[in-house]
């Protein structure tokens, strides 16, 4: 799939060739509203996969928006869908394009009023049919390399009080010229606790506006050449596609028969996440992974395997997806029951990065 050229053509078709020209610094002139892109993990059920492309995506859109007050309209070739919402003035209108071409990702591009775009995006997230892609520290560090200058960093880390005797807190916002230097210093001195919520800066051409990466899978820009911005979007797309393709192909647990159908073998890699700092009170961490807490929404039962190891069988409260874990003071093992379990892994990783710590050097999917 040629990611960029087909997408650029589709954007030009919807918002107008003049507005989307490569020479225009502001993507949506003359309003200059923020443009945002949200990456979602596409969690199609098995029955969708039996249909042809247009039917598959049309059923997916019907299911996705069945309880919402807006509808995306699918293109004739089934690759993209569009949404147009007209406000009282041009500055309050939005255009949205949903890219459905990938087997793993749904990418939505919003042009226009940022408040309306955010409201639409939050409604889609609440459906629990698509899940925001979590940009862990490894992906964010690769994206930050695209920035020539860092102008703002928002970081948010607070160790879970129920799991640590003396919880560490490192949260705040750095703005302006010191951001570049302080970011480098914090990354060197406090890396286990330096959880980036969002980071903003300029591309190599400092005449362009602000480009901001969010840990919840969003990129925002207020003033930029469309072609330059799309290069950054493509970079994130490739990073996320590799991540989720590896998880689906290598880490989902399956029972598969050999070629002669005489032996059924167990396939799928167990995911190991080592903690940067051992947990002081393991029962506090276990309670969080089993009590249905709002931020992670896992409800389950725990069983002690050895003196230092617990087994947890959990289910996601809304989606019904299942996941099994083994938890010790310095490591979690995660068993993905099926593709529906992958968003739970994102939620667990996000929680650990924000409230525990992760040994990033050993985090490999």
Residuewise pLDDT in 10s, the chain (365 residues) = 477 778 888 888 887 755 545 554 444 443 445 689 999 998 776 677 778 889 999 999 998 988 888 999 999 999 999 999 886 566 678 889 999 999 899 999 998 888 888 999 999 998 888 999 999 888 998 999 888 889 999 999 999 888 899 999 999 999 998 999 999 999 999 988 999 999 999 886 666 678 899 999 999 987 777 778 888 899 999 999 999 999 999 998 876 666 666 545 567 789 999 998 899 999 889 988 888 677 778 888 999 998 889 999 988 877 788 889 999 999 999 999 888 899 999 999 999 999 999 987 777 77
For CATH 3.30.160, list the domain ranges present in the chain: 252-362
Residue 264's pLDDT is 54
For CATH 3.30.310, list the domain ranges present in the chain: 3-133+223-244
Of 1.10.1400, 3.40.1350, 1.10.150, 3.30.160, the CATH number of 252-362 is 3.30.160
Residue 175's pLDDT is 94
Per the CB < 8 A criterion, the answer to whether 132 and 125 are in contact is yes
| DSSP strands (E only) in the chain | 35-42, 73-74, 80-85, 94-99, 105-112, 130-132, 149-158, 169-175, 196-202, 211-214, 218-221, 254-257, 264-267, 271-274, 298-306, 309-316, 322-327, 331-336
Q: What is the value of pTM for the model shown?
A: 0.90
Q: Which fold has domain 3-133+223-244?
A: TATA-Binding Protein (3.30.310)
Tell me if the bond preceding 62 is cis, omega within 30° of 0.
Answer: no
Q: 251-289: string of b/e by CB count within 10 Å (b at 16+)?
A: bbeeeeeeeeeeeeeeebbebebbbbbebeebeebbebb
DSSP 8-class letter at 291: B
Which is nearest to 322 in space by CA: 293, 345, 351, 352?
345
Residue 320's pLDDT is 80
Residue 160's pLDDT is 87
Residue 83's pLDDT is 94
């Amino acid at each position: 799939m040629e990611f960029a050229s087909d997408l650029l053509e589709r954007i030009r078709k919807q918002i107008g060739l003049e507005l989307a020209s490569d020479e225009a610094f502001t993507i949506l002139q003359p309003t200059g509203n923020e443009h945002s892109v949200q990456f979602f993990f596409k969690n199609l059920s098995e029955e969708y996969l039996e249909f042809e492309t247009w039917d598959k995506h049309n059923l997916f859109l019907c299911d996705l928006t069945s309880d919402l007050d807006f509808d995306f309209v699918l293109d004739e070739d089934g690759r993209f869908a569009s949404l147009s919402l007209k406000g009282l003035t041009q500055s309050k209108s939005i255009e949205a394009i949903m890219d459905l071409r990938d087997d793993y990702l749904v990418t939505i591009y919003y042009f226009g009023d940022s408040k309306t775009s955010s409201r639409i995006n939050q409604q889609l997230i609440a459906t629990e049919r698509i899940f925001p892609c979590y940009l862990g520290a490894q992906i964010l560090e690769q994206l930050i390399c695209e920035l020539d200058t860092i102008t703002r960093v928002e970081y948010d880390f607070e160790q879970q009080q129920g799991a640590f005797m003396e919880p560490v807190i490192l949260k705040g916002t750095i703005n302006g010229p010191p951001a570049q230097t302080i970011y480098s210093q914090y990354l060197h001195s406090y890396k286990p606790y330096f959880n980036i919520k969002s980071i903003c800066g300029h591309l190599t051409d400092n005449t362009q506006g602000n480009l901001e990466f969010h840990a919840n899978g969003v990129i925002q820009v207020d003033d930029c050449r469309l072609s330059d911005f799309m290069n950054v979007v493509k970079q994130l797309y490739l990073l996320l596609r590799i991540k989720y393709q590896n998880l689906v192909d290598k880490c989902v647990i399956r029972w598969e028969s050999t070629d002669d159908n005489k032996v059924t073998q167990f396939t799928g890699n167990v995911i190991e996440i080592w903690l940067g700092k051992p947990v002081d009170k393991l029962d506090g961490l276990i309670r969080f992974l089993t009590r249905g807490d709002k931020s992670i929404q896992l409800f389950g039962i725990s069983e002690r395997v050895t003196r230092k190891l617990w087994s947890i069988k959990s289910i996601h409260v809304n989606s019904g997806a299942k996941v099994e874990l083994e938890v010790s003071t310095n490591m979690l093992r995660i068993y993905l029951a099926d593709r529906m379990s992958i968003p739970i892994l994102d939620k667990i990783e996000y929680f650990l990065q924000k409230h525990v710590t992760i040994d990033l050097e050993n985090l490999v999917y």
